Chains A and B, each alone.
Chain A
Amino acid sequence: MNYLDENQIRQLTDSFLSAAKQAGADDAAVNVLAYRNESARFSRNQIIQNVEQRQNNVTLAVAVGKHQASVSTDIISRESIQQNAKKAVEIAKMFPENPEYMPPSKPSEFPRINAFDERTDQVSQQEKAGIIREICRNVAKEDLLAFGTLVTGHTIHAAANTNGLFAMFPKTKAELTLTVRTQDGKGSSREIQDHYLFDALDIDKTIQNTIQKAVRSKTAKEIPPGDYRVILSPTAAMNYFMLLFWTLDARRIEEKRSALNSHFKIDQITDSQLFSSNITIHSRVNHPDHPESPFSIALSMDGYAGQGQAATVFSDGLPVGNYPIIENGCVRKLFYTAYWAYHKGIDITGFPTLIEFQGSNRSIEELIADQERALFVNSFWYIRFVDPNHLLLTGLTRDGVFLVEDGAITTPVKNLRFNESPLVSLQNVISLGRPERRSAWFNTVLIPPFVIDNFSFSVDTDAV
């Protein structure tokens, strides 16, 4: 066996919690992150880097009264556990009480969700190199260049605390990223596939799609910047919409630090129709095809615009639920940190680990066929806040952008910079397609292609 099993994780968390108690902690919580990551990276049709990484990292958070501190280490021995526990308690005692102190999460019953696949964890280096060789041969046959990564491995997250909570979620990972570029550098495209099952990656489809789009993107034409109807691929939609969730933090809204405050009156934010009626987004747990953690790890959205980070290991292990976040354009659920939920007398749930955007059964091709004139965007790049007051974002198209005319892609166009707000775009959604799985920074999303009106581009670029 090449990974820590439940007994070993329990022994580890128990050792840290006992040591913390012995060192004088009143409360303690442990977060374990154990992983093995194998990543082969190829460029110009050959592997240029091939690495294996493994690490077991433990974060111990303690409270002495309401004085708190945390330590992290990957040096795991009896001595280091005791030293770290002692250090955490000593540091905690130096500080003023935390006025927003919350005790560790209560224990919960979590559904058994299987996202660990032995085959995926044990794919050999030779097999992966063989796949990359085939990808490169296929791409080279078309006189093109392949760049990308093939990644396998696993991650184990565990949370335990002195309130009796123990939660653990092992998950395997398989990911292929493929960029294909033309030899003259005038055409380029990219596709990503990821799954917890290695055998679920559709490698042939990825190769064919990427080759086709790269060739089609060659010699892009210039179009004037301005407002366009856009068809965003699921990747582009994920790139663009994920920052939306940071506006849904209840405390930020009440303290008038959310972009929602600039767009809507505070008493209208929940249950009023803020967005197009076809926008419905759910938190999901125990999805049959996309198993994700039934509990959340410490995450705070309270870190922007002067609030300071408030992530705490004491909030680890909150159960994730099935609930609507936005339903038919109405916000149904705001997110609460443990302290703010307590302060407001609201039951807290964990931050979603799987976010599902409702779509339709229609393919991207069908969405394109509906449009008289639009731009199809394959992905976005380098998205950043311009003005957090309005969730005004900037970024650029990448990996292929095409003019759609009379229901068909007609012309590749040069990449464009946008300055636009997802809060505005969600009021301009014309139609949606079939959702696809994508991995975001902190969770997984099922997200459809979007057709959106009046999407604002401010300048183009020669970048390919």
Chain B
Amino acid sequence: MRDFLNLAIEYMKEQNVTYGDIRFGSYQWQNISTRNTMVTNVSDVQSEGFGIRVFANGGWGFASNTDFTPENIRTTVKRAVEIAFASALTQTNGFHFASEKPEHIVWITPYDVDPFSVPISEKVDLLLAINSKLMKRSAIKFAVSGMNFAKEHKYFMNTEGTFTDQLLIRVDASYTATAIGPEGFESRTYTLIPLNIGYEHVHKAPLLDETERIAEEAIALLRAKECSCEETDLILLPSHTCLTIHETIGHATELDRVMGWEADMAGTSFATIDKLNNLKYGSDIFNVIADRTQKHGRSSVPVDDEGVKTGKWHIIKDGILTGYATTRCTSHFIGESQSRGCSYADSWQSVPILRMPNVSIEPGPVDSPSLEELIADTKRGVLVDGMGSFSIDHQRINFQFGGDCVWRIENGKIGEVIRRFTYQSHNPAFWNSVDVICRKDEWQQYGVVNCGKGQPMQRAQLTHGSAPLRLRNISIGRAKI
């Protein structure tokens, strides 16, 4: 493989590129899905190829291919250079590209059991057993379950001498029970936390044990009272904050978006660089950490897709905006000489772009309450579990979210399930209304597995952790037909 990569680098140097890199990717995905008593899909997908990215004559070019012959590598390098020369026709401001020291890293996701070594029949048997248990309740008319596994093997080399060989292994699974009755239909989902890990994650998960609760809660949702329209306190569980962090903090602090590079599609951000170190993003106890090194994180990797060592840093400290996700082309916008290592491409044929790292809310101080104590301390509010409807504007200000299952809290006790729950709020008032974050032993990481960004669209996968937390006086129930 090194010979193959070296050859491409040699060709790039022949073309006098200012900078160049090659990324070879070998990908394997397995997706299994079932409905009731049948297997609806088993697919096994393989993809291999390489992408060449160059900076030449003041412009960027990228070309990709699947033919690994020396002649074709040379042709692909030439094509990337030709594209870079065309790009240079429009350059007016030039590009900064942070210098980085060469890295040599070989790395594999920590795992015990290779998910692709586990027989498909074992996985299918487990999924069908889950469906069968869900459907023991007569109101559950549909049970759907699935598992997804991925191996992403990337080799990277650049003209600065960096070489990496990194293998990511991804596992996720979920199931959904749908209750149908005269009231309509409602679904409740169990999600095995998506992690970069081996099949031991599935072995250890209480997938079968949770079926009864999930089925019961689907039925409770169907028969529940509608969410009223009011202002109340929210207690958000980590299974829910995952998506809220992702949409309202993760995307808002991607520096390419902040600088307008995503203005034509994904949007820009309210958290502009003039607000760095002075925007009151959250309450005083609110601390948000970015970390591409956390164990089993969905975006964890030692070196990013443009050869930069990854790390950990605060995006929000004591409620104040203190940092952004950056790449080699964007770090200079905030006066940083090095990238934070947030470059990622979802395939060998995708050009690396800035993607948010794993972004998490830190737990509260040591004397913070447990979830149980927090509920007991809440006179009136709602407890929100899991992800529901979600929508946010293109500058990450106004948003409306639902939950997968939501309960009323009255006088410190969990009450009935409520149906068609939504809340609406806006940045930065929302996170400034956090008054309690539970303690460290309540902290959990969850994952987003299908984050779209870029033109052409790419998919990223991230981990977002938090402890349960409470927000005061949030508007709920305004989404009505």
Seen from chain A, the residues whose Cβ lies within 8 Å of a Cβ on chain B are 37, 39-57, 59, 68-76, 87-88, 91-92, 94-96, 98-100, 124-126, 128-130, 132-133, 136, 145, 147-149, 177-179, 181, 185, 188, 190, 255-257, 261-262, 305-311, 381-390, 392, 394-396, 398, 415, 417, 419-421, 424, 458-464
- Indicate whether B107 reaches chain A with its CB closer than 8 angstroms: no
Q: Is B438 an interface residue (CB 8 A)?
A: no
| B185→A257 contact, CB < 8 A | yes
Do B184 and A262 touch across chains, with their CB atoms under 8 A apart? yes
Interface set, chain B 5-46, CB cutoff 8 A to A: 33-46
- The residues of B that contact A130 with a CB separation of less than 8 Å are 89
The 5 A-B residue pairs with the shortest CB-CB distance in the complex, in nearest-first order:
A306-B178, A308-B35, A461-B398, A125-B86, A306-B142
B455 within 8 A of partner (CB): yes
- Residues of chain A with a CB closer than 8 A to B391's CB: 382-384, 394-396, 417
Among B62, B143, B479, point to the contact of A52 (Cβ < 8 A). B62
Q: Cα distance A48–B393 when bound, in Å?
A: 24
Among candidates A42, A88, A124, A306, residue contacting B185 with C-beta atoms closer than 8 Å = A306
Are the C-beta atoms of A43 and B89 separated by less than 8 Å?
Answer: no
Q: Is B335 part of the contact surface with A, judged by Cβ < 8 Å?
A: no
Contact with A along B206-219 (1 / 0, CB 8 A): 00000000000000
Check A306–B395 contact: CB distance below 8 A. Answer: no
Query: In the complex, which residue of chain B has the Cβ closest to the Cβ of A50?
Result: B87
* Stretch touching chain A among B155-163, B193-201, B257-265, B410-418: B257-265
Residues B263-317 near A (CB distance < 8 A): 263-265, 267-268, 270
Complex Cα spacing A50 to B84, Å: 7
Cβ–Cβ contact B64 & A417, under 8 A: no
Known contacts: A126-B89, A305-B187. The answer to whether A51 contacts B351 by CB under 8 A is: yes
Given A46-B93, A47-B60, A394:B83 Cβ within 8 A: no
**A54-B64, A55-B49, A458-B479 as given contacts; A463 in contact with B395, CB under 8 Å:** yes
Complex partner residue of A386 from B47, B141, B397, B422, CB under 8 angstroms: B422
Residue with the greatest number of chain B CB neighbours at <10 A, chosen from A69, A98, A133, A177 = A69
Does B47 lie within 8 Å of A73, measured CB to CB? yes
- Shortest CB distance A22–B (Å): 19
Contact of B440 with A by CB under 8 A: no
Contacts of A424 in B (CB 8 A): 481
Chain B residues with CB under 8 A of A311: 41
- Interface contact A91-B397, CB-CB below 8 Å: no
- Taking CB atoms, residues of chain B closer than 8 Å to A383 are 391
B residues near A306, Cβ cutoff 8 Å: 141-144, 176-178, 185, 187
Q: Which of A125, A256, A417 is the one whose CB lies under 8 Å from B180?
A: A256
Complex contact B46–A464 (CB within 8 A): no
Interface contact A128-B86, CB-CB below 8 Å: yes
The interface size bin for chain B is 35 or more
Additional A-B contacts beyond A71-B45, A305-B185 (8; CB < 8 A): A39-B456, A48-B60, A145-B260, A181-B260, A185-B268, A256-B180, A306-B143, A308-B36
Residues of B within 8 A of A (CB): 33-49, 59-66, 79-80, 82-87, 89-93, 119-121, 124, 128, 141-144, 146, 176-178, 180, 184-187, 259-261, 263-265, 267-268, 270, 329, 349-351, 353, 389-398, 400, 402, 420, 422, 424, 426, 455-456, 478-481
When distances are taken between beta carbons in the complex, the residues of chain A under 8 Å from B90 are 42, 45-47, 129, 132-133, 136
CB-defined contacts of A145 to chain B, threshold 8 Å: 260, 263
**Min CB–CB distance B79 → chain A (angstroms):** 6
Q: Is the CB of B395 within 8 A of A459?
A: no
- Distance to closest chain B CB from A59 (angstroms): 8
Please report the C-alpha to C-alpha distance between residue A386 and residue B61 in the assembled complex, in whole angstroms.
Answer: 41
Q: Which residue of the partner chain B has the closest CB to A261?
A: B184
Q: How far is the CA of A317 from the CA of B328 in the complex (A)?
A: 46
Asked if A50 contacts B62 (CB within 8 A), the reply is yes
Whether the pair B92, A308 counts as a contact (CB closer than 8 A) is no
Contact of A389 among B36, B60, B93, B184 (CB under 8 A): B184
Q: Do residues A394 and B395 form an inter-chain contact, with CB atoms below 8 A? A: no
Q: Known contacts A74-B49, A398-B394; is A49 also within 8 Å of B89 by CB?
A: no
Chain B residues whose CB sits within 8 angstroms of the CB of A420 once the complex forms:
481
Chain A CB within 10 A, most for which of B38, B66, B478: B38
